Amino acid sequence: MRTIRATRPEIPSYEDYIKEISSVWDEGALTNNGPKVQRYRSQLADHLGTDNVDVFVNGHSALVTAIKAMDLPEGGEVLTSPFTFVSTTNAIIQCGLTPVFCDIGENYNISLSSIERNLTDKSCAIITPHIFGIPCDVKAIDEIAQKHGLKVIYDAAQAFGTKIGGKSICQFGDATMFSTHAIKVFNSIEGGILVYKDEKVRDFINLFRNFGISYEDGGDVRICGINAKMNEFQAAMGLLNLVNTDRIIEKRKTLADHYIERLSEIDGITPYAYKEGISYNYAYFPVKIDPSVLGISREELFEGLKDRGIGTRKLYNVLTCDFSFYKNKGFRRDTEYAQKVTGICLDLPMYSDLTFDDIDYICEMIKECGKGGN
C-alpha cells in the first residue's frame, strides 16, 4: 500500500551535516555560546533584518523569556487564542499571568472582535500565535494594543519565513518567538529564536536564558533565570538549513497551489484563502470540512485516509482551555467559532519532498472516502 506521511523534517545531506559538526571536536565547545551558536545568531540577524535576536534551546523557553522580559504585572490578564499548541497557554501560566481565551476568525487566528469584547482594566498583553504560519491581522492588533496600553507578543512558532508587505513577521509586535523544532519549515533539530523590539531588554534576555548569571559581575546571579542555551549541534543544523529556507518555502508554495487546484474539484473541502500582499511559508495545509456536503465527518475522513496510507493531523481538535489542567480553573473564554473549528479542521500532508503525484493521490482518496468508500 502506498504510504504518505503527515509531515517529515527538512534536513540537509548527511555528508554536509557531518562536515559542519566536525569542527566541534577541534574547537572543544559543545554549548555555552560556542562559535557555531554565535555564527548562527549572526546569520539569523542578517536573514531577519534585525540585530535584536537571540537563540534558545527550544521555542517554549524563548516564549517564556519574551514574556518575562516584558515585565507584565503578576496576575495580569492576557488575551490569547486557545486554538494553538499548548506551549502558548503554558507559557502564560508559567509566567504568573491569567489567560483570557478569545475566539478565532476564519483565518484560524485570534478574533479582533473577541479581543475587544474581553478587554478589562486588568488586560496587560496580547500573546497569540500566527497559527499554521498564517499571520494575524497585525496592523489591527497593534492599533488595539496602542489604544489600551498592551504589550504584544507573537508566538510565531509556525511562521518562520512568513512576510507581510515584504517585511518579516518578526517586525511586528513587541516580541516574536520562532520555533525551530524538527517539523518546522526551518529547523535546528530543536530550538527557538526570539526577536524583540526594545534593545533595552537584551541584558535581561542574556541573563535569563543562563540561570541569571552575570559573568561581568564575577558570576553573580542577578535574576532568577532558566537554562535555555542552544548547543553547537543544533546551531550546526540551523546554519545548514537556513540557506535552503527560501527554496523550501517556494517549493511548498507550488505544492499548495496544486492542492488548491485539485481540491477545487471536491465539494465540502475548503482550503485557506491565501491573500495578496502576504508571503506565506506554507508550514501547514489546513482545510475545513463540511460533512453535509462531503458526506462524511472530519473523523471519518481522517480514518479513511489513514486506512489508505495517508497521514493527516487533527490540528487542533482540543482547545487548550479544554485540557484537564485548564478546564475547571475558571478562566474566561469566548470560543464559539474556535470550538466549531476543532471538529472540522484537518491538516493535509505538506513538506518539500511531497510531489504533485502524491497530492493527486491524496485528493483522489478524499473523493473516494467522500463517496462512502470507507
Q: What is the pLDDT of residues 80-126, one digit of tens each?
A: 999 999 999 999 999 999 999 999 999 999 999 999 999 999 999 99
pLDDT at 309: 97
**Within a domain: residue 79?**
yes
- Contact (Cβ atoms closer than 8 angstroms) between residue 63 and residue 177: yes
Average pLDDT score over residue span 358-374: 88
Q: What is the pLDDT of residues 346-356, one digit of tens each?
A: 999 999 999 99
Same domain for 193 and 71: yes
**Within a domain: residue 7?**
no
Same domain for 237 and 255: no
374 has pLDDT over 80: no
**Within a domain: residue 254?**
yes
What is the domain-level CATH number for residue 302?
3.90.1150.10
Same domain for 178 and 41: yes
Same domain for 306 and 211: no
Same domain for 254 and 235: no
- Other CB atoms within a 10 A radius of the CB of residue 229 amount to 18
Same domain for 291 and 231: no
Same domain for 209 and 91: yes
**Within a domain: residue 2?**
no
57 has pLDDT over 80: yes
What is the domain-level CATH number for residue 55?
3.40.640.10
Measured N-to-C along each axis, helices 245-263 and 356-370 cross at an angle, to the nearest 10 degrees, of 30
> Which domain-ending residue is among 208, 242, 276?
242
Residue 308 and residue 310: Cα distance in Å, rounded?
6
Q: What is the pLDDT of residues 178-221, one digit of tens each?
A: 999 999 999 999 999 999 999 999 999 999 999 999 988 889 99
Q: What is the pTM of this model?
A: 0.96
pLDDT at 373: 55
Q: What is the pLDDT of residues 234-279, one digit of tens each?
A: 999 999 999 999 999 999 999 999 999 999 999 999 999 999 999 9
Same domain for 156 and 44: yes
> Which domain-ending residue is among 242, 268, 285?
242
**Within a domain: residue 6?**
no
**Within a domain: residue 8?**
no
Q: What is the pLDDT of residues 279-304, one digit of tens each?
A: 999 999 999 999 999 999 999 999 99
The domain of 170 spans 14-242
Residue type, 83: F
* Strand pairing report for 53-56 and 77-80: unpaired
**Within a domain: residue 29?**
yes
Q: How many domains does the chain have?
A: 2
**Residue of 257, 269, 374, 353 lying closest to 4 (CA atoms):** 353
